[in-house]
Chain A
Amino acid sequence: MSSLSNSLSGEAQAFNPTASAAGGEVSDFFALLKPRVMVLVIFTALVGMVISHPQVSPIIAAISLLMIAVGAGASGCLNMWWDADIDALMTRTAKRPIPDGRILPNEALAFGMVLSVGSVLILGLASNWLAAGLLAFTIVFYAVVYSMWLKRATAQNIVIGGAAGALPPIVGQAAVTGHVSLDSVVLFLIIFIWTPPHFWALALVKSGDYAKAGIPMMPNVAGPDSTRRQIVWYTLLLAPLGLVPVAMGFGGWLYAVIAAFGGLGMLAGAMQVFRLREGEAERRAAMGLFGFSILYLLLLFAGLLVEHGFGLFRAVIA
């Protein structure tokens, strides 16, 4: 959809936070919630719940999951509100509702704040205040610590900020059990260590975009070669970490096979990124690792979901 400002002037404009917008569609507000990220959050939080074998009502669990998803969406909305100026400069994000002029910044801020407060309160009422507190922490960490501070300040932005994306399994477990165990902390660590190779693979390809917006992503600050080395190091950590649930006894045979072969796939992808440093092959290697990393995480968590959710768990270590 073309923006109001664009349609009036007939050409693309730079982001203007005071522009008038009255034509925001419902779908534009939904886009503010970063629906694809929400799906990942729902999925990982659900796995955090399922591995805990909760005794709570499925209705309570479902409402809790919905609120975790809404809270994640709210933090995405606040992120888009804060980052509208730099989003307007990058091809990947220029068509988002705020930089495109379809939604006013203040509308997004109000929307994000209402959803943040509402999701935390309802989660607290539905499950418990530990889970609500963890959700509130996740929202503040993503919207304030990552978006407002780390993202524009340090090349370690997505490393530290990755904690926000890694928290949903812990919040999910807390929502249905009232406590946090080592199992969900291991899932947190897997997502946390997965984030740098995943994002830096994309950043290698989009470094021009990030440079234009002045965001200190690792390839722009330390250079592509250093980023490639760090991708390999993080992947060397990630592959064995993916097998820790097997050693701890909550990852069964199916999970073990996925984690073993997926980890090898991640290592192969990281080595390709390390090796191929020029032209189209470089771009393909980076995008290949980026795409495979999503599949890897999806399959790891799907393995746990199938094993614990459908009674297919067979322990590897008796």
Chain B
Amino acid sequence: MMEPKFQVRALTPEEEKARRKRSVAIALTLGALVILFFVLTIAKLGPQILERPL
């Protein structure tokens, strides 16, 4: 069996906590971007975007 080329160190509890916070921040940023693009679209195209034939 081949030896792995590098060793993976287990994260300390503090590092895991920091990683979780970073993940939450990335999720919030992505959510904010979704809202930003939605608002930007409405602002650029105007409210008539909602009055289109189905």
Chain A: which residue is nearest B41 at the CB level?
A125
The answer to whether the Cβ of A25 comes within 8 Å of any Cβ in the partner chain is: yes
Give B23-54 interface residues, CB cut-off 8 Å to A.
25, 36, 39-40, 43-44
Q: Within 8 Å CB of B39, what residues of A?
A: 59, 63
Would you call B40 and A59 a contact (CB within 8 A)? Answer: yes
Instruction: Please count how many residues in chain A sit with their CB below 8 Å of the partner chain's CB atoms.
Output: 15
Which of A22, A24, A60 has a CB less than 8 Å from the CB of B11? Answer: A22
Q: Within 8 Å CB of B18, what residues of A?
A: 22-25
Instruction: Please count how many residues in chain B sit with their CB below 8 Å of the partner chain's CB atoms.
Output: 15
**Total inter-chain residue pairs, C-beta < 8 Å:** 36
The answer to whether the Cβ of A26 comes within 8 Å of any Cβ in the partner chain is: yes
Closest chain B CB from A49 CB (angstroms): 16
The answer to whether the Cβ of A126 comes within 8 Å of any Cβ in the partner chain is: yes
Would you call A23 and B40 a contact (CB within 8 A)? Answer: no
Q: Within 8 Å CB of A23, what residues of B?
A: 12, 14-15, 18
A122 vs B40: C-alpha distance in the bound complex, in angstroms? 10
Closest chain B CB from A124 CB (angstroms): 12
A63 vs B42: C-alpha distance in the bound complex, in angstroms? 13
Grouping DSSP codes into helix (H, G, I), strand (E, B) and loop, the A interface class, with mixed when no group exceeds half, is helix
Q: Within 8 Å CB of B14, what residues of A?
A: 23
Q: Within 8 Å CB of B36, what residues of A?
A: 63, 122
Chain B: which residue is nearest A30 at the CB level?
B25
Chain A: which residue is nearest B23 at the CB level?
A26
The answer to whether the Cβ of A55 comes within 8 Å of any Cβ in the partner chain is: no
Q: Within 8 Å CB of B43, what residues of A?
A: 57, 59-60, 63
Which of B9, B11, B22, B40 has a CB less than 8 Å from the CB of A63? Answer: B40
A125 vs B33: C-alpha distance in the bound complex, in angstroms? 13
Chain A: which residue is nearest B43 at the CB level?
A59
Q: Within 8 Å CB of A59, what residues of B?
A: 39-40, 43
Q: Within 8 Å CB of A29, what residues of B?
A: 22, 25
Give A11-65 interface residues, CB cut-off 8 Å to B.
20, 22-26, 29, 57, 59-60, 63
Would you call B44 and A60 a contact (CB within 8 A)? Answer: yes
Q: Within 8 Å CB of A63, what residues of B?
A: 36, 39-40, 43
**CB-based closest 3 A-B pairs:** A59-B43, A22-B15, A26-B25
10 new A-B pairs (CB below 8 Å) besides A22-B18, A23-B14, A126-B40? A22-B11, A23-B15, A23-B18, A24-B18, A25-B21, A26-B25, A60-B40, A63-B43, A122-B40, A125-B40
Task: Name 29 A/B residue pairs within 8 A (Cβ), A-sorted.
Answer: A4-B15, A22-B15, A22-B18, A22-B19, A23-B12, A23-B15, A23-B18, A24-B18, A25-B18, A25-B21, A25-B22, A26-B21, A26-B22, A26-B25, A29-B25, A57-B43, A59-B39, A59-B40, A59-B43, A60-B43, A60-B44, A63-B36, A63-B39, A63-B40, A63-B43, A122-B40, A125-B40, A126-B40, A126-B44
